[in-house]
Amino acid sequence: MIVDELKSWRRYAALEELRPAFEFLERRADEALPDGRIEIDGARLFALPQSYAPRAALGARFESHRRYADVQYIAAGAEMIGYAPTGGLAAETPYDPERDIAFYAQPACYTPVALTAGSFAVFYPDDAHMPCCRLDSDEPVRKVVVKVEIARAPG
């Protein structure tokens, strides 16, 4: 997992697979993008702009993905995203390869990550995350999630 401000993304330029996601965010994330899916490079790279009211963390579920890393950028508002390694979590819904998602029960211990406008978090396949949770207000959140297909080593 990586957490930082968008203006500092070049620190992670060695992670070449993430570069197109950050370049897209730098160019377009503050536009009035419609909610939904925006193709950047077909199924390999796409954005999911979304607007919502944050929810209570109590009872929320963790999720993870195998095919994609998530670059979650907060354009407006603030949210808390819970983080926990997938290895110690109890699966609630098995991995669905068509949707590229698995769900987990909320563990007793996890790391709360505060994201405010202008900040991002990157979640890799082993990084379970619980997004869209209330940080300190019910202020609406405007977020752009960029899905980046991750090359996996065989085996």
Tell me the C-alpha distance between 42 and 46, whole Å.
7
- pTM of this prediction? 0.92
**pLDDT value of residue 152:** 63
103-117 average pLDDT score: 96
Integer CA distances (angstroms), 96 to 27, 29, 72, 91, 142, in order: 32, 29, 21, 12, 27
**Rounded distance between C-alpha atoms, residue 150 and residue 37, angstroms:** 19
The tens digit of pLDDT for each residue in 123-152 reads 999 999 999 999 999 999 999 999 999 976
The confidence score (pLDDT) of residue 12 equals 85
Binning pLDDT at 50, 70 and 90, where does residue 153 land?
Answer: very low
Position 31 confidence tier, pLDDT thresholds 50, 70, 90 = confident
The structure tokens listed for 18 are 């993430």
Walk across the sheet containing 141-149 and list its strands.
2-5, 119-123, 68-76, 141-149, 45-52, 38-41
In angstroms, rounded to a whole number, what is the distance separating the alpha carbons of residues 24 and 72? 12
| Choice between 93 and 31, residue whose per-residue pLDDT is larger | 93
**In this structure, what are the phi and psi dihedrals at residue 88, rounded to the nearest 5 degrees?**
-100, 10
User: Which pLDDT tens digit goes with each residue over 42-96?
Assistant: 999 999 999 999 999 998 999 999 999 999 999 999 999 999 999 989 999 999 9
Cβ–Cβ under 8 Å, residues 102 and 141:
no
